[in-house]
Structure 1
Amino acid sequence: MTAISSAGDRKHRRGSKVPLLPQKRDDRDYDDCQSAEVGFDGASFSGAVFNLSTTIVGAGIMALPAILNQLGLIPGLLMILLGAWVTELSIDLVLRFGRASKTSTSYSGVVADAFGGFARTLLQVCIVVNNLGMLIVYLIIIGDVLAGTWSEGVHHSGLVEEWLGSHHWWTARSTLLLLTTFLVLGPLISFKRVDSLRYTSALSVLLAVVFVVITAGVAIVKLAEGSIGMPRLMPQVKDQADFWKLFTTVPVIVTAYICHHNVHPIENELKDPSQMKPIVRASLTLCSSVYIATSFFGVLLFGDKIMDDVLTNFDGDLGIPYSSLIDDIVRISYGVHLMLVFPIVFYSLRLNLDGLFFPYAIPISRDNKRFFSITIALMGFIFVGANFVPNIWDAFQFTGATAAVAVGFIFPAAIALSLSRNAHGIATKRDRVAAWLMLFLAVTTSTVAICSDVYSILSPDSDITS
């Protein structure tokens, strides 16, 4: 497949050159779209860093402490750093190929240039599946924070339940999620420009840092008191099941770094698109630092009692003064954090779903009827899913082992390998080696993780962490 697509492919790739939103004002291809964007001279470096960081830091941050406890301190921290490095490499490959082809301003467009329209459609399906699953998980966790949840026969109270009491219609889970959808999420997902979310993204990153600071503070206090010990450095592998269980951690780490679907929309709005590479590096540095601190202090604080969702650990006595107040602050900050992450992930979900169903239509930002119809339909589906999906972590694991791995590693690796066979000649030997490594790790770990998940579901005696 050559890098220069046929005329038919160009027609099919309406979405690759025309993103959901207009680019900065000096782009000639969008002059007819600028009437609604007067005064927008392009997104800033800091705004882009916050938006990309918010795309990265979502529900995965709460699963990482359990992953670190399962892998052991040394392998776990190395895996978090490896995830950041491979993510930066994969994004760099996608960006370089897009700039070399000069025909694509979206991830799906880059894939279409490399492999054709079918591959583009497959990528969009993967992004839709990944983002849709993640948003359902976000809304479920928001419901858990507000209304409480049951885990292994134990009821974990929600904030509203604690404050206003249970058994009232206004404290019911469905009611609280409906109010959250209309009052908070609805207005945020109605923005047509990703840069409009830069302030909420900055706040979401700040709230993630607040969680880290509180967790670190509590852990340090208890460590000074001598009530907790250092976590184990290496994993405990007692039998073959424990060994295979280690592979189930990979999809969670992969999902924690997925942001590829929002890289091009953010780049398209920059004042200086050449800043995208340092923006990616700054965002990954910030997020990996948050991940490492959260994982380390979470394991240090709770040890083997840590839950798959560490937020669940913050609903009881922490063994320090003002424990109840600290629990509430942690849950409030994280609940609001997810509400602010939600619109960033929803943005690329809507963009790619529109590309799947309306590949030849005018840009969705110029069609209000289509824009709000897709928005309402997606939000309705997510709301229903959040009320009826029985186990979010099983869904989380399968999504991470399939769609997330494809979006984050398989497609970028395939693009890198295709560069050695096209006219651009921008793929180095190092790129090809890294691409083969990414493919090998993605395919093997995903296969083992899926098999392990199936085994954990079918075997009632299995304790494989989801």
Structure 2
Amino acid sequence: MMNQTQNDARRLTTPLLQDAASLENQNSSQADEAASISGAVFNISTTMIGAGIMSVPATIKVLGILPGFLSILAVAFFTDVTVEFLLRYTQSGKSITYAGIVAESFGACGSVAVQICVMITNLGCLIIYLIMIGDVLCGSQSGETLHLGILQQWFGIHWWNSRAYALLFIVLFIMLPLVLPKRVDSLRHTSAISILLAVLFVVISSAMAIHALWEGKTQKLRIFPDFSKVSVFDLFTIVPVLVTGFGIQINVHPIRAELGKPADMSLAARISLAISVAIYFAIGFFGYLLFGDSIMPDMLVNFDQNSDTKIVAIAIPNIWYFFQFMGSTTIVCLSFIFPGAIILRDVHGISTTRDKIMAILVILLAVVTSTITISNNLHG
């Protein structure tokens, strides 16, 4: 009886509302844990300014300067549209994940399809990055042509700086620690460094191009495609490459969940798109000005220690085909088809006529370009 009385007394003395000090401390702790817009911008921009930056000059080579720039703007515009689709349906629905909002519209099958696409996309992106890192560190060989990587140039050719061992070291001691943190925002500093390095790469490339222009050694530029070398269908194969570069949709929800104000995600995405478009324009123009039609799908391969513009062949798989494969299969589904399908399904009844028209255009663009790209690669 005494214990019951004491328990009742505790319930009565427990305040129903927290005092101002405790509320202030709780809010301040939540504010400290919340991600900032700048961190979100860095993390989103890193998603776009990665392997894609190295293939932009090759897209300019195929399309020409003017159509190439217009294609970059078009893909960036449709990316912004689909990101807005995802954010609006996330705010209106109960789920805060990509797979969850697709499940609200298409059930468990839609959720599983998203997860499969995400896994394949991550695997493909990992392969692209490992190929590029292997090119830079270990070089490559094709026939009698040998391209030495940084490790061979500095230390000579040894077993420990071969491609397999170098990539194993990178995966275990650099990539693995970066994927262990639970919060995406914890990577904002490394993302900022990667953006800084990308800008530095643009500055170096532009300085080399301006110096070559001063000495009259730049390549002839084409404003429009050279249809004597490429067909009309070849032009459509460029879109999946750009779609792969701008594929940020799978990172929208994890980054949004960590923001102090989830509504700031739209602003962060647009700032990131503007930064990426500017860097893509710069590296596309100056890279094409510097190397011309000899530009490789991986621009890093065009740089050689012995000659500023020496071109070497590579025996490893061409990252161009990885870009096209992912950009015409899994990434195009995650970037365009799934967001457009959510708008057309409209389970929450918030889609306008304009939204549905844009969704149809996005899906048509995705299906047509992907079909042409896959067909062209199979027949080619």
Fold match (TM-score > 0.5): yes
Residue 187, structure 1, aligned to residue 177, structure 2: yes
Residue 397, structure 1, aligned to residue 321, structure 2: no
Amino acid at match of 2:84: D
Question: 1:192 is paired with a residue of what secondary structure?
Answer: coil
Cα offset, 1:242, TM superposition? 2.1
Cα offset, 1:38, TM superposition? 8.6
Amino acid at match of 2:232: F
Cα gap change, 1:292 to 1:152, in 2 (>3 Å): farther
Residue 453, structure 1, aligned to residue 380, structure 2: no
Question: Hey, what does 1:413 align to over in structure 2?
Answer: 340
Question: Hey, what does 2:12 align to over in structure 1?
Answer: none
User: Where in structure 2 are there 5+ consecutive unaligned residues?
Assistant: 1-25
User: Where in structure 1 are there 5+ consecutive unaligned residues?
Assistant: 1-33, 325-387, 457-466
Residue 436, structure 1, aligned to residue 360, structure 2: yes
Question: Hey, what does 2:17 align to over in structure 1?
Answer: none
Cα offset, 1:152, TM superposition? 7.1
Amino acid at match of 2:339: P
Is the contact made by 2:69 and 2:281 (CA closer than 8 Å) also made in structure 1?
A: yes
Mapping of 1:23-34 within 5 angstroms?
Answer: none
Is the contact made by 1:62 and 1:309 (CA closer than 8 Å) also made in structure 2?
A: yes
Is the contact made by 1:215 and 1:294 (CA closer than 8 Å) also made in structure 2?
A: yes
Mapping of 1:295-306 within 5 angstroms?
Answer: 295-306=284-295
Cα distance in 2 between the residues matched to 1:57 and 1:104: 29
Deviates more, 1:216-225 or 1:192-201: 216-225
Cα offset, 1:160, TM superposition? 0.1
Question: Hey, what does 2:141 align to over in structure 1?
Answer: 150
Question: Hey, what does 1:335 align to over in structure 2?
Answer: none
Question: Hey, what does 2:186 align to over in structure 1?
Answer: 196
Question: Hey, what does 1:213 align to over in structure 2?
Answer: 203
Is the contact made by 1:127 and 1:261 (CA closer than 8 Å) also made in structure 2?
A: yes
Cα offset, 1:182, TM superposition? 2.3
Cα distance in 2 between the residues matched to 1:153 and 1:99: 58
Q: Which whole-Å deviations, capped at 9, do the CAs of 1:326-382 have from their partners, x for residues lacking one?
A: xxxxxxxxxxxxxxxxxxxxxxxxxxxxxxxxxxxxxxxxxxxxxxxxxxxxxxxxx
Question: 2:218 is paired with a residue of what secondary structure?
Answer: coil
Cα gap change, 1:153 to 1:413, in 2 (>3 Å): farther
Cα offset, 1:40, TM superposition? 4.5
Cα distance in 2 between the residues matched to 1:256 and 1:200: 19
Cα distance in 2 between the residues matched to 1:66 and 1:435: 29
Cα distance in 2 between the residues matched to 1:221 and 1:106: 48
Question: Hey, what does 1:119 align to over in structure 2?
Answer: 110
Question: Hey, what does 2:59 align to over in structure 1?
Answer: 67
Residue 293, structure 1, aligned to residue 282, structure 2: yes
Cα offset, 1:61, TM superposition? 1.1
Cα distance in 2 between the residues matched to 1:142 and 1:278: 32
Cα distance in 2 between the residues matched to 1:152 and 1:108: 46
Is the contact made by 2:63 and 2:224 (CA closer than 8 Å) also made in structure 1?
A: yes
Q: Which whole-Å deviations, capped at 9, do the CAs of 1:63-103 have from their partners, x for residues lacking one?
A: 110111100100000000111110000010011011011x1
Cα offset, 1:140, TM superposition? 1.9
Cα distance in 2 between the residues matched to 1:140 and 1:72: 26
Question: 1:116 is paired with a residue of what secondary structure?
Answer: helix
Is the contact made by 1:130 and 1:400 (CA closer than 8 Å) also made in structure 2?
A: no
Cα distance in 1 between the residues matched to 2:144 and 2:322: 20
Cα offset, 1:398, TM superposition? 1.2
Match of 1:247 among 236, 240, 260: 236
Cα distance in 1 between the residues matched to 2:146 and 2:236: 30
Task: Name the larger-Rg structure.
Answer: 2
Q: TM-score, normalised by structure 2?
A: 0.87
Aligned length: 349
Mapping of 1:233-272 within 5 angstroms?
Answer: 233-238=223-228, 242-272=231-261
Match of 2:79 among 87, 96, 109: 87
Q: Which whole-Å deviations, capped at 9, do the CAs of 1:238-274 have from their partners, x for residues lacking one?
A: 27x6222112111101000001111110010011111
Mapping of 1:350-389 within 5 angstroms?
Answer: none
Cα distance in 2 between the residues matched to 1:51 and 1:146: 25
Cα offset, 1:425, TM superposition? 2.9
Question: 1:238 is paired with a residue of what secondary structure?
Answer: coil
Cα gap change, 1:396 to 1:145, in 2 (>3 Å): same
Cα distance in 2 between the residues matched to 1:294 and 1:149: 24
Question: 1:83 is paired with a residue of what secondary structure?
Answer: helix
Cα offset, 1:162, TM superposition? 0.8
Amino acid at match of 1:146: L
Cα offset, 1:144, TM superposition? 1.6
The structure 1 segments of at least 4 consecutive aligned residues displaced by more than 6 Å after TM superposition are: none
Question: Hey, what does 1:426 align to over in structure 2?
Answer: 350
Question: 1:84 is paired with a residue of what secondary structure?
Answer: helix
Question: Hey, what does 1:312 align to over in structure 2?
Answer: 301
Amino acid at match of 1:187: P
Cα gap change, 1:229 to 1:181, in 2 (>3 Å): closer
Cα offset, 1:225, TM superposition? 2.1
